[in-house]
Amino acid sequence: MPGVPVYYGEPVAVSSAEGARVVDTAGKEYLDFFAGILTVSVGHANAEVNAAARSQMERFGHTACLYPSEPVVALAEKLAEITPGRLEQSYFTTSGTEADETAVMLAQMHTGNTEVLALRHGYSGRSMAAQNLNGLANWRTTPSQVASVKQVLAPYCYRCPLKLEPKTCGIACARDIEDVIQTSTSGKVAALIAEPIQGVGGFITAPKGYFEIAAEIVRKYGGLFLCDEVQTGFARTGKMFAIEHHGVEPDVLTMAKAIANGFPIAATITRPEIASSLKKLTISTFGGNPVSCAAALATIEVLQREDLPARAERLGAELREGLLRLQRRFPSKIGEVRGLGLMLGVEIVRDEQAGDRTPDAPFLNRVFEAAKQRGLLVGKGGLYGNVFRFGPPLLIGSEDVQEALQRFEAAFASCVDG
Ligand SMILES: Cc1ncc(COP(=O)(O)O)c(C=O)c1O
């Protein structure tokens, strides 16, 4: 099928999967360090999650959002408990795209303003409106942006858009938001939407202090801070939600992917006074599907019981150490290892040692295929397609991390040496 993304020269056609292992139709086994785009956080075919979904399916599988079901109410209560600050009321949909669009719509209804700020290198999804939020030209098909969205600078320290040094910059990229509002908008904005770590953008990790400044500026001009945790949420970065690393309370938070370990559901959560602004366009037929809600509750139960934030932090430190070792072995090709917890990116460049940071996507693609041959699946991303993305299930053990590192290093070495 032309045009269908298969990710490899020869697609990995999945026949079965369990935990962190995937088996293709030819019987080859892979260690999965991308987890269905950071989604199956408690592992493929998790028995507890599947049992919860099965049991709900036997009771009833659908009510539409018009009639609340027990699982949807229980999930809304659970999300209010585990999200930061005063976020209390959830609106359920089925994808991250819809969760982000709901957040923007809510911000417009609540503030009465229309213009929205998003980050360069940010990703919000594939609908027409979400594409306009995307700060990645390679993830847009529309010829021009809708006028009400402006992309502000991303906190991309490795390629600082202002050519400053992180130690002395005073987080000037965040202060630039005020400049953009003053020079390129009506002076009143509805919102700034931002990911704590830009996932599709190549795991660009905002420095401490960035969100404090960004949220303060956007609020000063009448807008809300919309935090997109679609990729970073649910223990991935070492905290239940990545914005907790920054001590900033979002006005609205969006989530999808790992919320139900792969069952389709997404949520937009906010404070009651903001939620009450959503006065129309409130129907989502599949939103809050009871089976997906039951799966989400079981997933969160596992995340909490197994203390997966702590595990992500511990194993993430081990994975990071291995990747930094690899960087010391191949200092020319690896420009930066970055991220938090088990969300780690490796940026590939032409020759870091010679000061040549030109993105080297062809080299990345060779390593990507070589890793697959050795039975390791990882992700890739970034505007230039030159960043490896490591995001395994969080229930892996130290032995899986070491195995992945060995396979990745062997793949890397085979491409450097010949
Ligand atoms: C940060 C972020 N927001 C939104 C989306 C869109 O989610 P979905 O693919 O479920 O529509 C994604 C998907 O990768 C994402 O990474």
Mutate to test the pocket of ligand 1, among 121, 124, 205 (most ligand atoms within 8 A of CB): 124
Looking at the structure of the chain, the number of domains it has is: 2
Condensed to tens digits (0 to 9), the pLDDT of residues 335-391 reads 999 999 999 999 999 999 999 999 999 999 999 999 999 999 999 999 999 999 999
Atom of ligand 1 nearest to the CA of 100: 4
Q: Ligand 1 in contact with 133 (CB < 6 A)?
A: no
- Protein residue whose Cα sits closest to atom 16 of ligand 1: 231
Q: How far is the CA of 103 from the centre of ligand 1 (A)?
A: 13
Last residue of a domain, one of 288, 305, 322: 305
pLDDT > 60? residue 3? no
Minimum mean pLDDT range among 132-141, 212-221, 264-273, 333-342: 132-141
| pLDDT the model gives residue 314 | 98
Domain of residue 395, residue span: 14-32+310-417
Instruction: Identify whether residues 247 and 135 lie together within a single domain.
Output: yes
Asked if residue 87 is part of any domain, the answer here is yes
- Protein residue whose Cα sits closest to atom 3 of ligand 1: 124
Q: Ligand 1 in contact with 34 (CB < 6 A)?
A: no
Compute CA 374 distance to the chain's CA centroid, rounded to the nearest angstrom.
26
Confidence grade of residue 418 (pLDDT, cut at 50, 70, 90): low
Q: Ligand 1 in contact with 203 (CB < 6 A)?
A: no
Atom of ligand 1 nearest to the CA of 195: 1
| pLDDT the model gives residue 140 | 87
Q: Ligand 1 in contact with 345 (CB < 6 A)?
A: no
Asked if residue 107 is part of any domain, the answer here is yes
- Exposed, middle or buried: residue 183 (CB in 10 Å: 0-12, 13-18, 19+)? exposed
| Mean pLDDT, the chain, integer | 96
Q: How far is the CA of 341 from the centre of ligand 1 (A)?
A: 19
Q: Ligand 1 in contact with 256 (CB < 6 A)?
A: yes
Asked if residue 279 is part of any domain, the answer here is yes
- Protein residue whose Cα sits closest to atom 13 of ligand 1: 125
Instruction: Identify whether residues 121 and 19 lie together within a single domain.
Output: no
Last residue of a domain, one of 278, 305, 332: 305
- Give every strand in the sheet of 14-18, ordered side by side: 14-18, 21-24, 29-32, 376-377
Three-state secondary structure call for residue 401? helix
Condensed to tens digits (0 to 9), the pLDDT of residues 277-330 reads 998 888 899 999 999 999 999 999 999 999 999 999 999 999 999 999 999 999
Condensed to tens digits (0 to 9), the pLDDT of residues 83-112 reads 999 999 999 999 999 999 999 999 999 999
| pLDDT the model gives residue 289 | 97
Condensed to tens digits (0 to 9), the pLDDT of residues 119-168 reads 999 999 999 899 999 999 989 886 666 768 999 999 999 999 999 999 99
pLDDT > 50? residue 1? no
Asked if residue 128 is part of any domain, the answer here is yes
Which position has the token pair 């890739």? 380
CATH number of residue 289's parent domain: 3.40.640.10
Distances (CA, A) of 411 to 75, 334, 361, 390, 403: 42, 14, 15, 15, 12
Q: By the 8 A CB rule, do 267 and 80 touch?
A: no
What is the distance in angstroms between the CA of the first residue and the CA of the last residue of the chain?
A: 33
The Cα 77–Cα 89 span in angstroms is 8
Mutate to test the pocket of ligand 1, among 102, 257, 292 (most ligand atoms within 8 A of CB): 257
Instruction: Identify whether residues 25 and 90 lie together within a single domain.
Output: no
Atom of ligand 1 nearest to the CA of 125: 6
CATH number of residue 403's parent domain: 3.90.1150.10
Instruction: Identify whether residues 96 and 237 lie together within a single domain.
Output: yes
Predicted TM-score of the model (pTM) = 0.96
| pLDDT the model gives residue 146 | 72
Minimum mean pLDDT range among 3-7, 178-182, 296-300, 368-372: 3-7
Element (H, E) at 58: helix 47-59
Asked if residue 7 is part of any domain, the answer here is no
Q: How far is the CA of 97 from the centre of ligand 1 (A)?
A: 6
Last residue of a domain, one of 259, 277, 305: 305
Asked if residue 41 is part of any domain, the answer here is no
Q: By the 8 A CB rule, do 6 and 13 touch?
A: no
Instruction: Identify whether residues 221 and 98 lie together within a single domain.
Output: yes
